[in-house]
């Protein structure tokens, strides 16, 4: 291997370039960008915990849709025992009425296109 030094140096440069985003964030000490959500509501809590809703709201809404449309079940009982109407328009949009500042922030960040608005009317934006 006459060019071993050049190959080794090239590999080191390649590894540094590929791992740059990781160690740059570690050195900087900052987490990646996270969207800021604006909630306009008088309510103190959601139908479930914030952590649960952040991770599972899409499954919850799918379950609600199936329960309402296929089983005509319209009441959801949360883990804390409280009952809520299974309705995107009447339950969720009471608090999360500003689609651009709440829904779209995360959906755009994660590059997902929810199908909620295929059936539901997009809410009018409330001014802050």
Domain count across the chain: 1
In 3D space, the residue among 106, 126, 33 whose CA is nearest the CA of residue 116 turns out to be 106
Would you state the pLDDT for residue 127? Answer: 55
**Residue 128 falls inside a structural domain:** no
Positions in the chain whose pLDDT score sits under 50 = none
**What residues contact 98, with CB distance under 8 A and at least 6 apart?**
38, 40, 123, 125, 126, 128
Would you state the pLDDT for residue 1? Answer: 64
**Residue 60 falls inside a structural domain:** yes
pTM of the model: 0.66
**Residue 124 falls inside a structural domain:** no
Would you state the pLDDT for residue 119? Answer: 80
Would you state the pLDDT for residue 92? Answer: 87
**Residue 28 falls inside a structural domain:** no
Q: Which domain holds residue 89?
A: 50-119
Would you state the pLDDT for residue 57? Answer: 92
């Amino acid at each position: 291997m006459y060019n071993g030094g050049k190959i080794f140096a090239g590999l080191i440069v390649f590894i540094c370039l590929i791992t740059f985003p990781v160690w740059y964030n570690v050195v900087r000490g900052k987490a990646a960008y996270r969207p800021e959500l604006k909630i306009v509501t008088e309510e103190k809590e959601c139908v479930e915990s914030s952590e649960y809703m952040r991770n599972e709201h899409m499954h919850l809404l799918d379950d609600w849709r199936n329960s309402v449309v296929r089983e005509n079940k319209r009441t959801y009982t949360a883990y804390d025992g409280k009952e809520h109407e299974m309705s995107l328009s009447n339950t969720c949009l009471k608090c999360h009425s500003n689609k651009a500042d709440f829904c779209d922030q995360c959906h755009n960040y994660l590059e997902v296109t929810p199908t909620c608005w295929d059936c539901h009317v997009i809410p009018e934006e409330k001014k802050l």
